[in-house]
Structure 1
Amino acid sequence: MRVLAAMSGGVDSAVAAARAVDAGHEVVGVHLALSASPGTLRTGSRGCCSKEDAGDARRAADVLGIPFYVWDFADRFKEDVIDDFVAAYAAGETPNPCLRCNEKIKFSALADRALALGFDAVVTGHYARLEDGVLRRAVDADKDQSYVLAVLNAQQLARAMFPVGDTPKPRIREEAAERGLAVANKPDSHDICFIPSGDTQAFLGAKIGIRPGAVVDADGTKLAEHEGVHGFTIGQRKGLGLPGPAADGKPRYVTGIDPDSGTVRVGSVEDLHVWTIGAERAIWTSGVAPDGPIECVAQVRAHGGTAPAIAEAVGDGLSVRLREPLTGVARGQAVVLYRPDELGDMVIGSGTISATGGAGSAPIGSQTEAAATR
């Protein structure tokens, strides 16, 4: 096949491209320029898509003996990822920009251009497995990225390749060194790539500005003032602007955000318990929504935040009822559904969280369990 290898300048994408070459594919490397004014150097493991990264990607392509290009996706990235991120926080949501980047840039804009140029698939260094069109968790659980790939539909998965998902990360670094790739020991990128300082609140403050509001307790009593709901997320404990813990001595957490009134509600950890999740923009990796309730495992964060559940399609969205409560579940996050089997956890689908139910939502009991026949 003729495949396009998305090369970030890191070790994972370099080895993924190398494995595609080994498999006999005709491989062309491409680095995505996602910033209109990329920095010269990264700050340690923070940030990406810098001039340094582009140079590292080019050198890796030279070692592999494949053609290499840099494609400018800065405008598209700003519109579909950065602007979406800022708008979501302004609306009191907690988005994951990596999901949007995969959905809108790497496996939409990039893949569409690749197909138009006659390529059959896009290769990336994501840690996930694709087997007969089924998306599964990576072998390396600590590096698994299936959560941020669960926004891909069946058509996008059909033209994707994840060559490193069957290998633990330490072995990938060893392989890169054996191949003579200079990125073998390059630090992994952390935090949000377009906020290399790591200060998300400062970034959002500069974009959104001051929108004052109140921090209140469960009874609506005003405890403090703040400069904008974008500085808070559900489950947050630190940086609330409060003089101390609650009267009972227990720590307080953000339990609710109302962007219209600018109100941030705080409460106990028990107030964070979520038993039901409603989501919109459901994506089913098989291309077909399930016909009725399904047994699954729901995950609400890239690493951690999992619970057994029963889920079902509801219109263009989905509804999830948890067997065990989850905490820190916020609107704008993704809920990803997995089904364990003998080959490892497979991704069933995903949706963008739009509503949650707490203590008033009863956990799943024996009567509803009988309804989950799949």
Structure 2
Amino acid sequence: MAEKARKKVFVAMSGGVDSSVAAALLKKDGYDVVGVFMKTWHPEFLPCPWKEERLSAMRVAAHIGIPFLTFDFEDEYKRGVGDYFINEYRAGRTPNPDVMCNKEIKFGAFLKKARGMGADYIATGHYARKDAARLLKGVDVGKDQSYFLWVLAPAELRYALFPVGGYAKDEVRRLARKFGLPTAEKKDSQGICFLGDVDMKDFLKHYIPETEGAVLDEAGKVIGTHDGAVFYTLGERHGFHVNATNANEKPYYIVAKDIAVNTVTVSHEPEKIGGKKIFTLEQQNWISGAPEDGKRYTAQVRYRGAYLPCRAECGGERILLEEPHAAAPGQSIVVYDGDICIGGGIIA
């Protein structure tokens, strides 16, 4: 206890139950805890509840008796997350803003500022764990968020704590009630942080001009129109127009898109999305050292996706899946050795 009492931890408090419990657990364990709410960028044309979320975080901090600060990272977030997200879609890729938020904000700007103010550690409400210099899955398989943390360098992981990573979500709720936290019954947030409930295409159309293009069937025949191939992802079944031949026609799914000529190809059978076995990665980051060529690992190509058996080549530059799988350029592939998240990269 005496050792922990000398360690100062800045906790990223979003106003939600997970980060609230994280702060309460650290206070209970004897750390010198400081709660921090981070104000980030939000488009002016969308409603933003940041004041309410900040108030929720402030009430929790008051309840558990810790100092509370507000850090304004609006500019950093706009440059590092918002602009990245928009530019990736403009290039026809499928980005993950939560991954970039961790890299640029939580374990970038926040860590740097906290350390500059004397913090020994920062903590978040992520469902993940660490063992020395290794990043591990959270114990709650359904809530594990290590997928979003593959960008952490060992030097950043060294200063990170994940207090709720050793608990299941229902246990975190019970702890929140036990601590009497004001956020104990608060619903979890959904969707991309700066979008809320707004449709993705509606958001992007404020930044990327609509360009009408052709919807093709599998034979290459034009059967409808769309607003711009950059707005769509594989597997989507809404947002484009098809000239229906009868009222009972089955739904169409996007199975391919060509950004250069601005077309999307659709099929009644979503399983016809072209899968691949070999993926080249860019912007790789290997937390626990590069994967061994030929060794069997598992990989996730999307959050909460299946753990796919794979092997690595060229020190992780290429990931070879045992079975074909559909994934788009811009998505993160994260590689695991059992429960250890060894790192990952972005599909080139």
- TM-score over 0.5 for the alignment? yes
Q: Which runs of 5+ in 2 are unaligned?
A: 1-6
Question: Is the 2:41–2:82 Cα contact (8 Å) retained in structure 1?
Answer: no
Counterpart Cα distance in 2 of 1:219 and 1:263: 13
1:297-332 CA-to-partner distances (Å, cap 9, x unmatched) read 110111114310111345xx62111112223x1111
Amino acid at match of 2:343: G
Question: Is the 1:276–1:320 Cα contact (8 Å) retained in structure 2?
Answer: yes
Work out whether 1:302 is the aligned partner of 2:308: no
How do residues 122-133 of structure 1 correspond to structure 2 at under 5 angstroms? Answer: 122-133=122-133
Work out whether 1:9 is the aligned partner of 2:21: no
Identity among equivalent positions (%) equals 40
Shift of residue 13, structure 1, vs aligned partner = 0.3
Work out whether 1:326 is the aligned partner of 2:322: no
Change (3 A) 1:233 1:292: same
Question: Is the 1:39–1:51 Cα contact (8 Å) retained in structure 2?
Answer: no
Change (3 A) 1:272 1:236: farther
The secondary structure found in structure 2 opposite 1:151 is: coil
Determine which of 271, 274, 285 is the counterpart of 1:272: 274
Question: Is the 2:18–2:126 Cα contact (8 Å) retained in structure 1?
Answer: yes
Size of the aligned set, in residue pairs, is 338
Question: Is the 2:286–2:342 Cα contact (8 Å) retained in structure 1?
Answer: yes
Counterpart Cα distance in 2 of 1:298 and 1:170: 27
Amino acid at match of 1:64: I
Determine which of 269, 285, 288 is the counterpart of 2:287: 285
The secondary structure found in structure 1 opposite 2:223 is: strand
Counterpart Cα distance in 2 of 1:176 and 1:352: 36
Amino acid at match of 2:282: E
The secondary structure found in structure 2 opposite 1:308 is: strand
Question: Is the 2:121–2:159 Cα contact (8 Å) retained in structure 1?
Answer: yes
Change (3 A) 1:307 1:243: farther
The secondary structure found in structure 2 opposite 1:172 is: helix
Shift of residue 210, structure 1, vs aligned partner = 1.2
How do residues 145-160 of structure 1 correspond to structure 2 at under 5 angstroms? Answer: 145-160=145-160
Amino acid at match of 1:143: K
Q: Which runs of 5+ in 1 are unaligned?
A: 43-48, 355-374
Change (3 A) 1:40 1:11: farther
Partner of 1:90: 90
Question: Is the 2:313–2:320 Cα contact (8 Å) retained in structure 1?
Answer: no
Amino acid at match of 1:350: G
Work out whether 1:192 is the aligned partner of 2:198: no
1:181-237 CA-to-partner distances (Å, cap 9, x unmatched) read 110010000011211233111111122121222223444333322221232002223
Question: Is the 2:224–2:242 Cα contact (8 Å) retained in structure 1?
Answer: yes
The secondary structure found in structure 2 opposite 1:272 is: coil
Shift of residue 6, structure 1, vs aligned partner = 0.4
Counterpart Cα distance in 2 of 1:260 and 1:347: 36
Counterpart Cα distance in 1 of 2:337 and 2:240: 38
1:15-72 CA-to-partner distances (Å, cap 9, x unmatched) read 1111112222211110001136899987xxxxxx611110010111111111111110
Counterpart Cα distance in 2 of 1:290 and 1:37: 39
Question: Is the 1:223–1:242 Cα contact (8 Å) retained in structure 2?
Answer: yes
Change (3 A) 1:134 1:37: same
Question: Is the 2:234–2:273 Cα contact (8 Å) retained in structure 1?
Answer: no
Change (3 A) 1:186 1:271: closer
Amino acid at match of 1:338: Y
Counterpart Cα distance in 2 of 1:119 and 1:251: 54
Amino acid at match of 2:279: I
Amino acid at match of 1:21: K
Partner of 1:362: none
1:55-112 CA-to-partner distances (Å, cap 9, x unmatched) read 0101111111111111101111111111111111111111111111011110011111
Counterpart Cα distance in 2 of 1:221 and 1:155: 54
Question: Is the 1:135–1:346 Cα contact (8 Å) retained in structure 2?
Answer: yes
Over the aligned positions, Cα root-mean-square deviation in angstroms equals 2.3
Amino acid at match of 2:321: L
Question: Is the 2:216–2:222 Cα contact (8 Å) retained in structure 1?
Answer: yes
Counterpart Cα distance in 2 of 1:22 and 1:294: 42
